[in-house]
Amino acid sequence: MGEGGRGEERGLDSAAIERIVRERVDAVLGERLEAELARLRPVGGAKTPSMTIIATRGTLDGAYPPFILSSTAAALGWDVAVFFTFYGLELLKKDLSGLRVSPLGNPAMPMKMPFGPEWLRSIRWNVPNAVQAVVPGFEALATSLMRKTLRDKGVAPIAELRAAAIEAGVRLVGCQMTVDLFGYSREDFVPEVEDYVGAATFLPMARDADVSLFI
């Protein structure tokens, strides 16, 4: 007699057998998952997630990712440190009004006009690099249009995002080598910068973090 016949003799149809097997598999997998979580869970309670970010860009568009990501993580209760190195140090300056955006050499940059009739606002302006490079004031124009677009869309200015990150407890760390390299003074930067260190000091922090980003 086949397997189906033996199952029917015991009063179980194929659907019941499948359900029993699935329940047993789920139980075994659940036990293994709980055991693995218990192994990874530190003694004394849940571990606070941590994140480090290396910020290297000093442009208007490059300023948003590190401050948005760090302030959001800090608001979720994470321990967050951002290491500003090379051009990223521009984001620690007291005056951020000089931040610019340049579409030159950036094919993903073309944006729509933030003003004018609907047909004009719908166009993506893919201006060739050869034209951008020779048109006087093109970068200033692109920066002005970007700032207007950000305002129209209700995106907070960089200074506000930075203040929010500081208030949330994000640790701002400057690269001492870059400060020396570019001839900066610590007086150029906001007083909330926690410390100025080198790569040898920051790398262990990144190694031990749950999430580490390079921007």
pLDDT, tens digit, for every residue of 8-34?
A: 445 567 777 777 777 776 776 667 766
pLDDT of residue 23: 77
DSSP string for residues in the chain? --HHHHHHHTT--HHHHHHHHHHHHHHHHHHHHHHHHHHHSPTTSPPPPEEEEEE---SHHHHHHHHHHHHHHHHTT-EEEEEE-GGGGGGGBS--TT-----TT-TT---B-SSS-HHHHT-B----HHHHHHSTTHHHHHHHHHHHHHHHTTPPPHHHHHHHHHHTTPEEEEEHHHHHHTT--GGGB-TTEEEEE-HHHHHHHHHH-SEEEE-
CA torsion, ordered 84, 87, 93, 96, to nearest 10 deg: -120
100, 93 Cβ separation under 8 angstroms: no
Pull the structure tokens for residue 71: 């302030």
52: which 2 tokens? 């480090």
Q: How are strands ordered across the β-sheet holding 171-175? A: 193-197, 171-175, 79-84, 50-55, 211-214
Where does the pLDDT of residue 65 fall: very low under 50, low under 70, confident under 90, or very high at 90 and above? very high
53 in Cβ contact with 85 (< 8 Å):
no
pLDDT tens digit string along 151-186?
A: 888 889 999 999 999 999 999 999 999 999 999 999
Q: Residue 2: pLDDT above 70?
A: no
Q: Where are the domains of the chain?
A: 3-40, 50-214
pTM of the model: 0.69
Instruction: Tell me what the mean pLDDT of segment 136-151 comes to.
Output: 79
What is the structure's pLDDT at 7? 45
Checking if the pLDDT of 43 tops 90, the result is no
Which CATH fold would you assign to the domain 50-214? Hypothetical Protein Ychn; Chain: A, (3.40.1260)
pLDDT tens-digit readout, 77-130: 999 999 999 999 999 999 998 898 877 666 666 666 666 677 666 656 666 565
What's the sign of the alpha-carbon dihedral 200, 187, 69, 215? negative
